[in-house]
Structure formats: C-alpha cells, structure tokens
RNA sequence: GGGGUUGUAGUAUAACUUGGUAGAAUCCAAGGUUCGGGACCUUGUGGUCUGAGUUCAAAUCUCAGCAACCCCA
C-alpha cells in the first residue's frame, strides 16, 4: 500500500472520475499540460501508443489502396465559403492566423482538411482512370474549443488521421464509407479492447457538409458516450463547389462521389478511461508498448545470479517486447507500483527462490492474480496469458456496454435512463427540433447513433408521438 | 456561454484569518547500508503563476491577466 499521498493515484475511479482521469494520464506519463490553454504534450509513452495505433491502421490502409500524403496547415478563407453548410458548421471554432495573403485574404488553421485537399483533387482528377482516388493524411488539427478541455478527450490541437476518397459511383462510395467504419470498429475492439456501437448519425449530428455520417461510439465508465471515429459519405456537394469532375468511359463529364473518415488521439483517452483502475493505467496487451516487465529480486550476494537468469528470461521472451527493470536503488515494491501505474500487462518476478525452483512468478495487471510458472512452460504461458488479458478486458467493457443499454418506450423512461447514466434506446422521428428538445429536457442527452440494423419501428417518437422512423441510442457525451 | 473552486521547490503541502527571516515531507544529486509489495542514514540543489496597486514592509490585502479543476447551458 502507498504510504505517501503523492505517490500513486490519490482518488478512486468510482468516486472522482475527472480527477482520477487526469492523474492517470499525468502519472502514467502519457501526457502533460502545456502553457497555452487547451493544449497538451503527448509524452513518449503516450506517443508510443499513438504509434501503435498508426502502425495498425497504416497496414489496414495499405491493404485498401490508400496512400499517405500531406497537405498544408493553412486554409484560405475563400475555401470555406465554397461549401455553405461546412463553413457554418466549423465557423465557431476556426482559429485564424494573423498573417494574410498579399490580397488581404485570411488564413485558417485547419479544423479539418476537406477544402484544402479538394482544391488539389480538382487539379488531379481528369479521367475515370484516376478513380478511385484514396488519400490519407496524419496531421494535427486545430479547433478553438470554448468549452472545458480534457487531456486527449478535448483539446484545441490534436492529432488524427483523415482519409479522403473520390469514387465514380455512389454505390462504391457507400460501400467504402461503411468499409472504413468497419475497420475503425475492428481497431477499437481488436487492438484497444473497446466495444463500440455502430450506426448513422442523425441529421442534427452529422458532419457539416456531408450527405450522411456514420459513427462508432463507445461508452465510458462515468456514463458518457465517446465518439471513437466517423466516416462520412460527402455526396457530390464538395465536388461541385470545388470543381472536381472526370471524363467517363462514355466520353461525358461526371461529378464524382466523395467520402472522408477520421479518428484522433481521443482514442487514447477512451483507452485510459475504459480499462484503468485505482492503481493507474491498464493497457490491453496488443496496444501496450511494453507487454512484460521483469523485476529481479535479490540480496547483494544473489545479485549476479538473479540478473543472469533475468537476462536469460528476457532473451527468451524478447518477441513480446519485454523490459528488464534492473535499476539499482529502487526496491522491488517500488518497481511493482511504478509498472502498475504505467499499465504494463504482465510482470515477472525472479528471485533466488525461483531460480532454485526453476520458475518465475507471473502477475497479471488486469486482475492482480499471481502464479508460479516453471521456466519450461513460460513462453507458452506468457503467450496465453497476454491473449487472455486482452479478451478479459474486452469482455468486461462489453458486458458494461450491454448492461448500460436500456430500451425505453416514452420520454419519461428516456429521461430516467439518462439520469441514471445509461444509454437509452428510443424510438425517434429524426427531426432536429425533437432532438433539440430531448437534449434540453434531459440535461444534455444527444443522439449517438442510429444502428444500421435498427429494429423494425413499432412505436411513436418519444418526444412528439408521431410515428417513429427508427430507433436511436441517446446518451450524454464527451 | 454562465457560475464556482484553486494557484507556494519537480510533486503534494505549511505559513494567509491577524502583512514582518517561506518550514517539514517527498522527488532529484552524491556517499553508505538495503532489496519477495512504495526501505533507511548523512549531505546537498531547488519555491510564493504573471503584472499592477496599497504599505516602511506582500506568499498573505486589492485589481487585472494567465492556467487548472468542478457544476450548469
């Protein structure tokens, strides 16, 4: 047990989640604050997680024919004005730079890159042979938030990927919009062990300028939903205003269809909130930069023997990204706590007793279970346990999500469900006025998504009692 | 957008009410003893968020700025 208040996380996740969350991010050395309000430093340990996410998704994109590229940070004001809905949607949070063009035109720092990219697309796309065009960029984004900021979850500058594709046909665009959303779901569930709800956004919540927006939503332990990624079918609106067209095989000019899709460093925030506990960060093995840490335990006379054996074990397990903590001057207990704070999935303790018994002690971060494992079985045991931790974390989160969804039949039930920090699954007509009203009356519940396989509608809208078009998940959200 | 709380070594704090030498801890550095769940001794480095004002004198009182956190929209 920690004796000093300032050593571990000093509040319980269940009692003060905002404070707990900040402490875990800071003390696990994922992130730090920076002097400009609403900005943050992603520290090496946090960035290592982002790199793992990038590695995973770069492979996915490569397999789908998406190329990485980079477009400028600065966007001319006139570009925003071309697509009215888009301009209106982003206007409140665009940051403008002081420097202007020689003609006096203002420049924005990109809040998203549709306009600057499609200017180029219009030059590059001439023929049906140029399609489909699939380009992604990894970059920083600036949205000058006025509401409260939170590490990873909401900051004025963040990192993301944005994919922008152009297709000859609507069908192809529809298919790939969904395909990329599906890849996001796989990333969240397989890599991050975070279950998600998948569906469409309502008209109120869709991306400014899109024909429709699809989304994956996760549900945090404090009862708030978190958008994990979105994929938009942009229709032909942007193509029209940016002059993107191609000559078809029929020798006629056509307007193409476009999609865009993105996820951000927010995923790291979701990762922290979903799995971690009162001892600090808990990382699913697949995303953990270090999966196994070895702690040697010795008195001075045993030191050489223990370290030799510890190095042998490290070598044997090197395919799991294993670290040997052989620092002098820290007791084993200190090291246990530190690596628990940083969420390393598996700990191996090796001391004189273990060497004698040809074994090591294996300790899981997710449930603290300790077990003696014979050296001959270690490789297979580590492999199995890492897999089991990954599955266990997903299952816990998935059970929580399932338990949190409450089917409601009227407004009173919806309101009650939101007050109890659950997700209400409600019949809904889809009108913006109704959604505004629900948000207002429930103290902030927004529609998270209309599931793709929405059950047959048999009821009336919870707000206006007209026949409902579909069922929608409502929850408060980050 | 509205309201509230807070800001003192790297961290977490004491002194603030009643203005008067910023003090213990921990971290960090050096040396020594330790080492199976946050060990200990000795020595050392390091601090009042920024800027104005009041005052002989400001960590303390006033104002503004900046930042963090919380609640509500």
Here the ipTM equals 0.85
CATH number at residue A244: 3.30.930.10
Residue with tokens 């476009």: A258
A9 CA – B27 C1', rounded, Å = 16
C1' of B54 to CA of A128 (Å): 77
The answer on A260 and A299 residing in a single domain is no
- For residue A338, is it within any domain? yes
- Domain of A450, CATH number, reads 3.30.110.30
CA dist., res. A306 & res. A402, Å (int) = 47
Across A29-170, where does the E strand assignment appear?
Answer: 31-33, 40-42, 67-68, 74-76, 95-96, 107-109, 133-142, 157-167
Residue A81 shares a structural domain with residue A208: yes
Domain boundary among the residues A229, A249, A275 is at A275
Q: Are residues A168 and A263 in the same domain?
A: yes
Contact between residue A434 and residue A474 where contact means Cβ atoms under 8 Å apart: no
- Alpha-carbon span A55 to A7, nearest angstrom: 33
| CATH number of the structural domain spanning residue A358 | 3.40.50.800
DSSP annotation string for A161-185: EEEEEEESSHHHHHHHHHHHHHHHH
Position A7 scores a pLDDT of 66
Q: Residues A257, A218: one domain?
A: yes
Distance A4 CA to B47 C1' (A): 21
Instruction: Find tokens 């998406």 and name the residue.
Output: A66
In a domain, A67, yes or no: yes
pLDDT tens for A343-374 read 999 999 999 999 999 999 999 999 999 999 99
Instruction: List the alpha helices (DSSP H) in A195-252.
Output: 237-242
Domain that holds residue A434: 404-475
Note whether A91 and A179 are same-domain residues. yes
Same domain, A443 and A317: no
What's the CA A299/C1' B34 distance, rounded, in angstroms? 8
Question: CA triplet A145, A201, A136: central angle to 5 degrees?
Answer: 70
Point out the residue nearest to B25 (C-alpha to C1'): A4
The spacing between the Cα labelled CA in A144 and the C1' in B70, in angstroms, equals 21
B16 C1' to A337 CA distance, Å? 36
Chain B nucleotides with an atom closer than 7 Å to a protein C-beta: 1, 10-12, 25-26, 33-39, 66-73
Name the nucleotide nearest A92; use CA and C1': B1
Same domain, A142 and A182: yes
Residue A300, number of CB atoms within 10 A of its CB: 6
Is A47 inside a domain boundary? no
The nucleotide whose C1' lies nearest the CA of A37 is B67
Instruction: List the single protein residue with the shortest CA to C1' distance from B37.
Output: A333
Based on the fold, state whether residues A298 and A271 are members of the same structural domain.
Answer: no
Radius of gyration (C-alpha) of chain A in whole angstroms: 25
Domain identity same for A368 and A434: no
Name the nearest CA neighbour of A147 among A136, A158, A155.
A155
Same-domain status, A344 and A409: no
Backbone phi and psi for residue A43, each to the nearest 5 degrees, phi listed first: -80, 165
Distance CA A49, CA A478 (A): 21
- First-to-last alpha carbon distance for chain A, in angstroms, is 33
pTM to 2 decimal places: 0.95
Distance CA A226, CA A76 (A): 31
**Distance (Å, rounded) from C-alpha A413 to C-alpha A375?**
57
**Average pLDDT per run of 10 along chain A, which is 478 residues long?**
53 84 89 83 94 98 98 94 90 85 89 96 97 98 83 92 98 98 98 97 93 97 94 97 97 98 96 94 97 95 94 96 93 94 97 96 97 97 98 98 95 93 94 92 92 83 93 93
Q: Is residue A50 a part of any domain in this protein?
A: no
Please give the protein residue whose CA is closest to the C1' of the nucleotide B2.
Answer: A147
Q: What is the reported pLDDT for A308?
A: 95
Distance CA(A135)–CA(A139), nearest Å, equals 13
> Are A315 and A329 spatial neighbours (Cβ–Cβ below 8 Å)?
no
| pLDDT of amino acid A109 | 92
Report yes or no on A112 lying in a domain: yes
* Domain assignment of residue A306, yes or no: yes
Same structural domain for residues A241 and A372? Answer: no
Helix (H, G, I), strand (E, B) or coil at A110: coil
Which nucleotide has the least CA–C1' distance to A328?
B35
| Residue A276 tokens, joined | 């971690």
Query: What local confidence, expressed as pLDDT, does residue A455 receive?
Result: 74
- A81 and A185 housed in the same domain: yes
The last residue of one of the domains, among A356, A385, A414, is A385
Domain boundary among A339, A357, A385: A385
A42 belongs to a structural domain: no
Give pLDDT, residue A3: 34
Number of domains in chain A: 3
Whether residue A25 lies inside any domain: the answer is no
């Amino acid at each position: 047990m920690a004796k000093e208040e300032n050593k571990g996380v000093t509040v319980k996740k269940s009692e003060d989640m905002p404070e707990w969350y900040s402490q875990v991010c800071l003390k696990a050395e994922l992130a730090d604050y920076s002097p400009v309000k609403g900005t943050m430093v992603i520290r090496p340990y946090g960035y290592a997680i982002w790199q793992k996410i990038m590695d995973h998704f770069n492979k996915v994109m490569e397999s789908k024919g998406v190329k990485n590229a980079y477009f400028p940070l600065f966007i001319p004001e006139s570009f925003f004005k071309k697509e009215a809905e888009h301009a209106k949607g982003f206007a409140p949070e665009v940051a403008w730079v002081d420097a202007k063009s020689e003609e006096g035109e203002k420049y924005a720092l990109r809040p998203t890159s549709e306009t600057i990219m499609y200017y180029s697309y219009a030059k590059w796309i001439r023929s049906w042979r140029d399609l489909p065009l699939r380009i992604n960029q990894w970059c920083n984004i600036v949205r000058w938030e006025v509401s409260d900021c939170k590490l990873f979850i909401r900051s004025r500058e963040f990192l993301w990927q944005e994919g922008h594709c152009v297709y000859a046909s609507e069908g192809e665009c529809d298919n790939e919009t969904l395909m990329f959303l599906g890849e996001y779901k796989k990333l969240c569930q397989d890599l991050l062990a975070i279950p998600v709800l998948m569906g469409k956004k309502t008209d109120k919540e869709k991306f400014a300028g899109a024909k429709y927006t699809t989304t994956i939503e996760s549900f945090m332990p404090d009862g708030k939903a978190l958008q994990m990624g979105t994929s938009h079918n942009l229709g032909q609106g942007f193509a029209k205003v940016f002059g993107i067209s191609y000559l078809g095989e029929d020798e006629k000019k056509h307007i193409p269809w476009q999609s865009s899709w993105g996820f951000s460093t927010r995923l790291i925030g979701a990762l922290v909130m979903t799995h971690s506990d009162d001892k600090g960060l808990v990382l699913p093995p697949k995303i953990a930069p270090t999966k196994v840490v070895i702690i040697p335990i010795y008195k001075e006379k045993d030191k050489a023997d223990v370290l030799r054996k510890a190095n042998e074990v490290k070598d044997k397990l090197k395919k799991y990204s294993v670290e040997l903590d052989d620092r002098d001057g820290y007791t084993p207990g200190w090291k246990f706590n530190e690596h628990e704070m940083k969420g390393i999935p598996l700990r191996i303790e090796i001391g004189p007793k273990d060497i004698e018994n040809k074994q090591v002690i294996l300790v899981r971060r997710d449930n603290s279970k300790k077990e003696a494992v014979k050296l001959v079985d270690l490789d297979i045991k580590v492999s199995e346990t890492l897999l089991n931790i990954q599955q266990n974390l997903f299952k816990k989160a998935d059970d929580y999500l399932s338990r949190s969804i409450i089917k409601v039949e009227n407004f009173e039930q919806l309101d009650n469900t939101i007050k109890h920090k659950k997700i209400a699954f409600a019949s809904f007509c889809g009108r913006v006025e109704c959604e505004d009203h629900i948000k207002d009356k429930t103290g902030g519940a927004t529609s998270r998504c209309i599931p793709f396989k929405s059950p047959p509608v048999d009821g009336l809208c919870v707000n206006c009692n007209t026949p409902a078009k579909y069922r929608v998940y409502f929850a408060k959200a980050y």
